[in-house]
Structure 1
Amino acid sequence: MHTTTKMAALGDTFPFYTGLKSIFPMDTALSVIITIFLTALVTFIIILPGIRGKMRLFWLLRVVTSLFIGAVILAVNFSSEWSVGQVSTNTSYKAFSSEWISAEIGLQIGLGGVNITLTGTPVQQLNETINYNEEFTWHLGESYANEYAKALEKGLPDPVLYLAEKFTPNSPCGLHDRYRLAGHYTSAMLWVAFLCWLLANVMLSMPVLIYGGHMLLVTGVFQLLALTFFSMAMSFSPPCPLRLGTATLHTHHGPAFWITLATGLICVLLGLAMTVIHKMQPHKLKAFFNQSVMEDSVREWNPEEGGLLSPQYRSKAESPEPQDIPLSEASAEANYSDSANAEPDCAL
């Protein structure tokens, strides 16, 4: 985006933010994640007719549930809607100017920074298009203070600079350190949950369903831990009113928080359900995952005899007694003559 700051000349007021506004209807990372998982879903649906019987429904249910969980874990990690707030107000527009505008101001707090929107109501006011979407990040290796300094140089509108200043490291509100630290720990927990989700899928495709259920349970636990870290940042943050003109902006948990909570609870419930079913009716669990149960019905595990691969011996009492099978007369005479001819002549 190319912007210029026009000095006070020809009636323009310094600073004057001109040029194209940075408007992003959707985050690039989120769009890539959604595209990848939707492509995977379409691929699985294409091969769905090759599965016969009722296993087709079970297979589709497993695939949709698994892809949904994985997509949510990745998407919320890059989302900026963990804590949101929006207000409609009348506020000043530029520095060193007494002109006010009517606008909707939004604040989205994510794990890696904040996103501030300013939309005029109506959009065209003061002979300008008032529609801003600015992002300020605190990722590792990036400086929030430098991004805020660049925003001052560009001459962004007053409401955007006011909210961005509240999250600077030197702000008396202390929001920067709390949200930045909570965002790092929350993101780390979500990455661990994603790895557990991958392991759960691998184990559920093998004859170790109980361990797959355990990993699914752990996936939900790490998602709930991520929510705990982020909630601590909001709970222990000092009160810092965000006054914008004639109104005050209040923040609350956003869609990313609630969808992570729902997905975490689903993982925990599914993991517990698999554990219980494995204890009570393991054959039905294997049938749901399209795993053969014929070997289990033919061969049973006997720990006293050393398992399936150990040789099994029967005692002499259990062995069947030999039975005498009668022979025909011709066969008896032939056997008698052969035995007589085979006797050695011992006479000297």
Structure 2
Amino acid sequence: MAALGHTFPFYGGPKPTFRMDTTLAIILTIFLTALVTFVVILPGIRGKMRLFWLLRVVTSLSIGAVTLAVNFSSEWSVGQVSANTSYKAFSPEWISADVGLQVGLRGVNITLTGTPVQQLNETIDYNEEFTWHLGGNYAKEYAKALEKGLPDPVLYLAEKFTPNSPCDLHRQYGLAGHYTSALLWVAFLCWLLTNVMLSMPVLVYGGYMLLATGMFQLLALVFFSMATSLALSCPLHLGTATLHTRHGPAFWTTLTTGLLCVLLGLAVAVAHRMQPHCLKAFFTQSAEEDTVQEWSPEEGGFLIPHYQSMDENPKTQDIPLSGASSETCCQEESPQEFDYAL
């Protein structure tokens, strides 16, 4: 490489990148497949229940997909800046590029895209990930990046998150990611219990579990914000520009979903108190077993429960006895007379 005029350290070229996280792509594919499956069987549901059923399925799958996807997202804190910066170590040449930083619950993702992409007879398009979650050794991954000879902007940002960095970003974001991820997993389990209970007669408990799903999501956001706000002020200078971070799409999506779960959970609880029969009709469930059920004449109409009180049906029901039973009863009432003649 030295004979060909390349400058050390030399990176063999940008690796192929997929613009979307493969884990998120798998999660979305699974939930979209489930949605398509439910839509296929939708024509088999008659009447007004079809709309209610579709609304429940779409809402439930959306909540589950978001709760699981944000746990693996790398866009909890994001930042991007256009800067003129050095490209390689031991090289005086500078490039014009867009530098992006995405901080997730499991690590950081750094992007470097040249403007234009072709500069210095190279394709400047990098997308590098450094993880610290579940056994990931961030320091070891950073050492491998140094051996590869990644571009200076990538190494500079990655160095800020190393355990030995004075910025202490590794400890703060690692702690926030660990507990936020745990709370999101609890929220996902609550979502599973919500679907189970809403398919059973215990609708109010399904509403409580949906409320718990939203509360755990909001609690995860509070913990992430508190843990990251304690991080030291560490400016990220790239040439003459400064990179600033802010809450990313994953944070705001979780906030929206959490508030939606809280509102829906409260709505189910209130409907159970005020209009229990309408709530059962919305979830395609019959009324209580001790009621007389009548169907509306329209196809797919609602179940209309009708209670019969003693005032409405004052006549007592006489149960006729058979002939043998009557004779037995008479014999029991008139005792047998014995002749005591001496």
Q: Give TM-score scaled by structure 2 length.
A: 0.85
Tell me the residue number matched to 1:217: 211
Tell me the residue number matched to 2:125: 131
User: 5+ unaligned residues in a row in structure 2: which ranges?
Assistant: 294-314, 320-342
- CA shift, 1:245, in A, is 0.6
In the alignment, the residues of structure 2 paired with residue 109 and residue 81 of structure 1 have an alpha-carbon distance, to the nearest angstrom, of 6
1:297 maps onto 2:294 in alignment: no
Tell me the residue number matched to 1:188: 182
- CA shift, 1:233, in A, is 2.5
- CA shift, 1:135, in A, is 0.1
Q: Give TM-score scaled by structure 1 length.
A: 0.83
In the alignment, the residues of structure 1 paired with residue 276 and residue 318 of structure 2 have an alpha-carbon distance, to the nearest angstrom, of 40
In the alignment, the residues of structure 1 paired with residue 155 and residue 84 of structure 2 have an alpha-carbon distance, to the nearest angstrom, of 16
**2:144 partner letter:** K
User: 5+ unaligned residues in a row in structure 1: which ranges?
Assistant: 1-5, 300-317, 323-348
1:236 to 230, 245, 249: 230
Q: When the two structures are aligned, how many residues end up with a matched partner?
A: 302
In the alignment, the residues of structure 1 paired with residue 281 and residue 13 of structure 2 have an alpha-carbon distance, to the nearest angstrom, of 62
Match runs of 1:173-322 below 5 Å: 173-293=167-287, 295=289, 297-298=291-292
1:61 to 44, 55, 58: 55
Describe the SS at the equivalent of 2:79: strand
User: Alignment identity in percent?
Assistant: 80
In the alignment, the residues of structure 2 paired with residue 296 and residue 284 of structure 1 have an alpha-carbon distance, to the nearest angstrom, of 17
TM-superposition CA deviations, 1:84-120 (whole Å, max 9, x none)? 0000010000001110000000000000000000000
2:140 to 141, 146, 149: 146
- CA shift, 1:267, in A, is 0.3
In the alignment, the residues of structure 1 paired with residue 291 and residue 3 of structure 2 have an alpha-carbon distance, to the nearest angstrom, of 90
2:72 to 69, 78, 88: 78
Describe the SS at the equivalent of 1:117: strand
**1:23 partner letter:** T
Contact 1:22–1:134 (CA under 8 A) maintained in structure 2: no
In the alignment, the residues of structure 1 paired with residue 36 and residue 271 of structure 2 have an alpha-carbon distance, to the nearest angstrom, of 30
Tell me the residue number matched to 2:160: 166
- Structure 1 residues 25 and 319, CA gap change in structure 2 (3 angstroms): closer
Contact 1:85–1:249 (CA under 8 A) maintained in structure 2: yes
Contact 1:93–1:99 (CA under 8 A) maintained in structure 2: yes
TM-superposition CA deviations, 1:2-52 (whole Å, max 9, x none)? xxxx4x443211112123424221111111100000000000000000001
In our comparison, the structure showing a higher alpha carbon Rg is: 1
**1:274 partner letter:** V
In the alignment, the residues of structure 1 paired with residue 66 and residue 263 of structure 2 have an alpha-carbon distance, to the nearest angstrom, of 17
Tell me the residue number matched to 2:110: 116
Contact 1:102–1:121 (CA under 8 A) maintained in structure 2: yes
